[in-house]
Structure formats: structure tokens, C-alpha cells
Amino acid sequence: MHNRITIVENILSANDRIAAENNSLLDKEKVFSLNIMASPGAGKTSLIEHTIKLLSPEFRIAVIDGDIATSFDADRAAAAGASAVQINTGGDCHLDAVMIQNALQNIDLKDTDLLIVENVGNLICPASFQLGTHKNILIASIPEGDDKPYKYPSMYRGIQALVLNKMDLLPYITFDLARFYKGVEILNPGIITFPTSCHTKEGLEPWIEWIRQQLIKHYGSKC
């Protein structure tokens, strides 16, 4: 058991070193970056599409899409107006810093203001692997249930913003908002949360404005 723990620690330590290199490169090129995580079907790609369409008149956006197979999500990001790179993990349930490092070589960072990384749909593995992005974002959704902060605490602890998507379904699905928010607050006190619906576009503007302010805060001279 001890050997296995040591190996895991070594893997994560190596990953963190490369993540730091990725972060330094993005800072050097003045590219603000988001790592967007969620379970399958929570609405990652839909939210990214809306984000691209609403921000692309002001900012140059690139997307790295991670998935086990297919390029469907990268195709959607490109159609929305971003430059897109697809990473197929071939079975891995998360992206890691090496994958991002390789993908960055295919992006013109000097012509990019915002990098959005769409992680593989999973609520366990992505929490353990830093990528070098500036903010970790989790998208939860009403159909998933209000118990997710209690079942996946590591994911909710390691984020800087939370999107609660598919709010338009709240009248039709049993979901205790108070219970959900209590679980989130216990794990991540004071975290900023955006209730949204990609279907009705409810709540998208506060999310977009938050990203806009993060871009200006980090790299106002470039943006």
C-alpha cells in the first residue's frame, strides 16, 4: 500500500510541476484561462458555446476540448467562433498538465485573450490534476440532484466559481436548493455561484460579466 501511495504522489507532483510551467507560459503571453469541469450532460459545451458567442466580439478565445473519443465538442466550439483543439484521452477520465502542455503548442497564444479548457465529463478524477489554468470552474445541474456536494467534496473544494445550470428544470425536478447551497458553503465558503439556464439564457449575463472582469483584472493592457 505504501508503494502505491508513493507512486501516486510522484505522479501528482510531476503533474503539478508541468501545470506551473503551463501557468507561467499563459501569464507570459497574457492569456487568462478557465478549467471547466462537470459530469457528463451537465451542460459544459452549451455554456462554452454561449460564452464564446457573448465574449468573442471583445476577446479572442481558444478552446481545448477533452474527451475520451470524438471531436464533437471541439467542432461546436469552432462553430461558435473560437479556435479549438481536441484532446482525445483514449480512456483516461481527466485531462492532465502534459496534455495541456502539448495542446498549447497548437494554439497561437499571442492571438488569444481567453483560453477555455473543457475537461472530461467526470466528478472524481479532474479534481486531482491541476492543469495550470487560472480558475477551476464546476458546472452542476438540476437533474443531477442536490446531493452532489456531499458525494463529491473534493471537486467542490477545489474550485473558484460554481455554475448551477438547467435552472429552467427546477419546477419539474425534486431539487432542494437550500440543501445544495448548504453543502457547497460547508466545503467552499463564500464561493461565487451563477444559477443559469443555457436553454432560456437565464443568468448568463452575470457569468459573462464575471469572466470579463477577470480578464480585465489579470491582463487589462492586452484586453
6-39 confidence digits (pLDDT tens):
545 566 788 999 999 999 999 999 999 999 999 9
All structural domains of the chain, each given as residue ranges with its CATH number in brackets, are 2-219 (3.40.50.300)
- The model's pTM: 0.91
For the stretch 43-60, pLDDT in tens is 999 999 999 999 999 999
Residues in CB range of 175: below 8 A, 6 or more apart: 142, 145, 146
pLDDT digits (tens, 9 = 90+) for 80-130: 999 999 998 877 788 999 999 999 999 999 999 999 999 999 999 898 899
Q: Are 37 and 136 in contact (CB under 8 A)?
A: yes
d(CA 35, CA 150): 22
Mean pLDDT for all residues in the chain: 92
Check residues 147 and 10 and name the one with the higher pLDDT: 147
Residues 160/187, Cβ–Cβ less than 8 Å: no
Work out the percent of the chain whose per-residue pLDDT is above 70: 93
